[in-house]
């Protein structure tokens, strides 16, 4: 009887081990929109009139033999919250993968499109944008199906390294005590940057049997190096192309941008060589540096044990950043043409007073917003923490530090878009990001706590 039990237990264990063997697939689709779509991201309207390089979406499918997850990266400024009311059901219908295991990230390229049909857009632009958004929903569903069709047995390996000198804090305390965003990299009135960049670069390697390997690369900073009105994936596209060409063998690469709300490429007092780079050339430098750092650890990634694939989503309530009495007074001064009486810099004044600004739209509430936090786990070692916003680096840094997983990939603008969320300790400093954020100061800490709690529950569900 005891022997039969042992044999039965062994057979059950072997069956689970077989079902838990990872399989991974990859798909890429060209999602370049038609010309003429608005390219938001600045304070003036830009209409696309050409293409420098293709706008794409990648999907990595991961399965444990029973459950599958889909991880997307989309070249887009932002995929707004309402986009997912169509995208989630369409992807699930096409793939059978439930909503809680669908992870759709926007790289935040500023030379990419948006699916936001703004009220102030001309009717022709509204129509083009809505048609593009609907097409993108279909393409994401198709990419998910293609990635699942590409599944092959895989071992998963991970590595961490540093990519230094690429990203810099873009918020500075000035000598007069004010806080400014991007005041100029040689501005003599700068006192100090407010914080330090997170230069950690993370790599996930899917070692597939019979098919080319697949990489996920994770690093955080703003993709805003090119400017103009021509489509480009900016430096995330350079990362993919450089990595795939450098590794060779048909390897495929998906990039996930990390916590990047207060960092960009404007390194204070750059070297003469970097300072001499024309702005559009910086995206090659950044993309190649990130790809090079990832290639440097590709061959020494450490394999993680097999396990279950799982995902979770929670709705977290966060306090709204309702305008202060001073901000309401400044709006009245602006509307009366008395801009010179507003004690803010030009960029901050534009942020505060623009037609859709936080200060204007929240004068009558609401007092809170419910935001979607997404997370996923692959086995007992690897996790993904998706934030539907542009979080400051300290938020991402804290989530990674407190996560119970060996490696946690934090990505911005995942499954939604709520704009900037400053870290709690720097929210009070003000500046462009804090002025524009729809969320009050405690939100940074609350977001970290809610995401870490969700990751701990995933860890326990292994």
Quick check: 251 and 406 in contact, CB under 8 A?
A: no
Q: Round to whole Å and give the CA distance between 60 and 104.
A: 11
Residue 316 token pair:
């977290």
Nearest to 427 by CA among 395, 399, 461: 395
pTM, rounded to two decimals: 0.93
Considering just the CA atoms, what is the radius of gyration of the chain in Å? 23
Q: Residue-wise pLDDT tens for the chain (462 aa)? A: 434 433 333 333 333 333 458 999 999 999 999 998 888 777 677 889 999 999 999 999 999 999 999 999 999 999 999 999 999 999 999 999 999 999 999 999 999 988 988 777 788 888 899 999 999 999 999 999 999 999 999 999 999 999 999 999 999 999 999 899 999 888 999 999 999 999 999 999 999 999 999 999 999 999 999 999 999 999 999 999 999 999 999 999 999 999 999 999 988 888 899 989 988 899 999 999 999 999 999 999 999 999 999 999 999 999 999 999 999 999 999 999 999 999 988 878 888 998 889 999 999 999 999 999 999 999 999 999 999 999 999 999 999 999 999 999 999 999 999 999 999 999 989 888 998 999 999 999 999 999 999 999 999 997
Report the SS3 class of residue 148: helix
Could you list the beta-strand ranges (E) of 2-85: 23-30, 50-51, 56-63, 68-74
Q: Round to whole Å and give the CA distance between 327 and 317.
A: 24
DSSP string, 288-309: HHHHHHHHHHHTTPEEPPP--E
H/E element, 369: strand 368-378
């Amino acid at each position: 009887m005891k022997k039969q039990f042992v044999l039965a237990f062994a057979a059950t264990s072997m069956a689970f081990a077989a079902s838990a063997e990872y399989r991974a697939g990859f798909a890429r689709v060209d999602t370049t929109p038609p010309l003429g779509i608005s390219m938001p991201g600045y304070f003036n309207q830009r209409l696309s009139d050409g293409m420098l390089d293709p706008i794409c979406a990648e999907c990595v499918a991961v399965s444990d033999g029973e459950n599958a997850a889909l991880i997307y990266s989309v070249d887009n400024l932002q995929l707004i919250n309402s986009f997912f009311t169509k995208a989630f059901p369409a992807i699930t219908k096409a793939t059978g993968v439930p909503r809680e295991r669908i992870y759709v990230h926007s790289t935040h390229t500023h030379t990419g499109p948006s699916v936001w049909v703004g009220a102030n857009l001309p009717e022709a632009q509204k129509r083009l944008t809505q048609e593009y958004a609907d097409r993108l929903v279909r393409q994401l569903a198709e990419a998910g199906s293609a990635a699942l069709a590409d599944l092959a047995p895989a071992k998963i390996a991970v590595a961490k390294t540093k990519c230094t000198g690429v990203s810099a804090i873009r918020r500075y305390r000035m000598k007069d005590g004010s806080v400014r965003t991007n005041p100029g990299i040689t501005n003599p009135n700068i006192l100090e940057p407010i914080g330090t960049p997170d230069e950690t670069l993370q790599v996930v390697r899917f070692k597939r049997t019979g098919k080319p390997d697949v990489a996920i690369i994770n690093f955080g900073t703003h993709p805003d190096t090119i400017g103009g009105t021509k489509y480009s994936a900016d430096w995330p596209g350079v990362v993919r192309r450089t990595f795939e060409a450098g590794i060779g063998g048909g390897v495929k690469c998906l990039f996930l941008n990390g916590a990047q709300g207060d960092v960009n490429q404007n390194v204070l007092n750059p070297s003469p060589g970097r300072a001499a780079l024309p702005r559009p050339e910086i995206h090659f430098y950044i993309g190649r540096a990130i790809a090079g750092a990832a290639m440097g650890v590709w061959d020494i990634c450490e394999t993680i044990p097999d396990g279950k694939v799982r995902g979770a989503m929670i709705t977290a309530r966060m306090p709204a950043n309702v305008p202060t009495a001073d901000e309401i007074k400044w709006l009245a001064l602006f509307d009366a043409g008395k801009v010179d009486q507003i004690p803010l810099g030009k960029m901050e004044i534009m942020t505060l007073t623009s037609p859709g600004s936080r200060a204007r739209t929240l004068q009558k509430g609401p007092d809170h917003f419910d935001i979607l936090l997404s997370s996923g786990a692959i086995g007992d070692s690897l996790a993904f923490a998706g934030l539907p916003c542009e979080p400051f680096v300290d938020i991402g840094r804290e989530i990674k530090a407190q996560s119970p997983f060996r490696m946690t990939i934090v990505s911005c603008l995942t499954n939604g878009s709520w704009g900037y969320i400053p870290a709690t300790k720097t929210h009070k400093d003000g500046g462009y990001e804090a002025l524009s954020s729809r969320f009050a100061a405690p939100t940074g800490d609350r977001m970290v706590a809610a995401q870490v709690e969700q990751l701990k529950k995933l860890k326990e569900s292994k």
